Amino acid sequence: MSSRELKRLAIAVVVLLGLWGASALFSHRSDKTRGSLILPVLPPTLKDTITILHGRDTVRLAQVAPNVWTANGFPAAPGKGSELLKAIGDSSPRDIASINRATLNRMGLDTLTAWTLVVGPAHQPRFTLLIGNPGEEYGTAYVRLPKSDTAYVWHGTLPALVQRVPDIWRDHRIASVAPDSVRSIEITRHGKRFMVARQGKGWTVDGQRADSSKIGILLAQYRSLEAQGFGTRDSLRGVSPRGHRVVTIRGTGTAPLLSLVLDSATGGFWGMKSGDSVVYKVADYSVLQLTPAPDSLRARH
C-alpha cells in the first residue's frame, strides 16, 4: 500500500471517528450535554401576564400586588403565582436531549400536545416555552423554544407547575370564620329554619340547650371552608327545592360574617356567597356537616 493510500485511509478513519462521536453525543443518551437555553430574568413584581395554554384550557395569571395574583380574573390560590415565577427563574443547567425534529412528537413537544407557557403580551411576549413529557430522570421534563428543533431537559418544578389543571390555580377558600367571633348561626333546611345562638358560655338551638361539643364541631367547619372546585351559572340549572340550604353566620356587627346558599343540582352541591358571583363546588359530606339537623345539635338529657 502506497503512502498516499495510507494517508487517505487515515483521513477516512478520522472522519468516521468524528461521525461516531457526534452520533454518540446527540443520541438518546445525550442528557448530559449542556445546552444554552437561556430565558430572560423576570422581576419579582411582574406586571406582565403569564399565560398557560393546553388544548382548550387557558390559564392567565396576573400579579396585582406583591405576592397577590389572579387566575383568569379570579383570586389565585395563595403562593401559587409566586411559586411559578420562582420556578421560571430556576438557573439549573438545561441539558440537550435531542436536535432531531423527528423526536419532538415522542417527547410531547409538538405544538398540538405540548403545554405552552407565554410570559408577556401575546403579540410581543418576553418569551414562549413549550413543555412536554417527563424526562427519564425523576423531576425532569422536555422543553423547547417554539422556533427551535433543539429539545432540552428541564431540571426543576416548572413543568409540574405548568401542567396543573386550571382549577388548581384558583383560591378554593369559601370562608374563614373564627369560632370565637360567632354569636349566632341561622340554618335553613328543606324550607325549615332554626337558630343556633351563643348563650353565656354555652349554646342554644331554638332556645333549647345545645351540645357544646357538637357546636364546636359545627364551628370548626367554617374555620377554613374550601371548595372542591368551581362551576358556572349553568351548574345551577335543575336546582332541587329539597336540596336548598342557607347558612347565615353573625358576629357582633350588623353585617353577617358569612351568608352562604347551597343548592343541590346536577353534579352535586353548589354554593354561592352573598355579594359574590363565584359558584363553588361543595362536597356532599361537607354540606351535611355545614347544615346539620337541629336535633343532632341539642344536648341529650
Q: What is the 3-state secondary structure (H, E, C) of the chain?
A: CCHHHHHHHHHHHHHHHHHHHHHHHCCCCHHHEECCCCCCCCCCCCCCCEEEEECCEEEEEEEEECCEEEECCEEECCCHHHHHHHHHCCCCCCEEEECCHHHCCCCCCCCCCCEEEEECCCCCCCEEEEEEEECCCCCEEEEECCCCCCEEEEECCHHHHHCCCHHHHECCEEECCCHHHCCEEEEEECCEEEEEEEECCEEEECCEEECHHHHHHHHHHHHCEECCEEECHHHHCCCEEEEEEEEEEECCCCCCCEEEEEEEECCEEEEEECCCCCEEEECHHHHHHHCCCHHHHECCC
CA 140/CA 159 separation, integer angstroms: 8
Min mean pLDDT across 26-40, 117-131, 176-190, 227-241 is at 26-40
**The residue type at 10:** A
Write down the pLDDT at residue 247. 97
Min mean pLDDT across 47-61, 237-251, 282-296 is at 237-251
Residue span(s) of the chain under CATH 2.60.40 come to: 173-297
Write down the pLDDT at residue 13. 52
For the chain, what is the radius of gyration of the CA atoms? 29
Q: How confident is the model at residue 30 (pLDDT cuts 50, 70, 90)?
A: very low
* pTM score, whole prediction: 0.79
Q: Does 91 score more than 50 pLDDT?
A: yes
Q: Does 11 score more than 60 pLDDT?
A: yes
Q: How confident is the model at residue 28 (pLDDT cuts 50, 70, 90)?
A: very low
How far is the CA of 118 from the CAs of 3, 58, 121, 142, in angstroms? 61, 11, 8, 16
Domain 173-297 class? mainly beta
Q: Does 10 score more than 80 pLDDT?
A: no
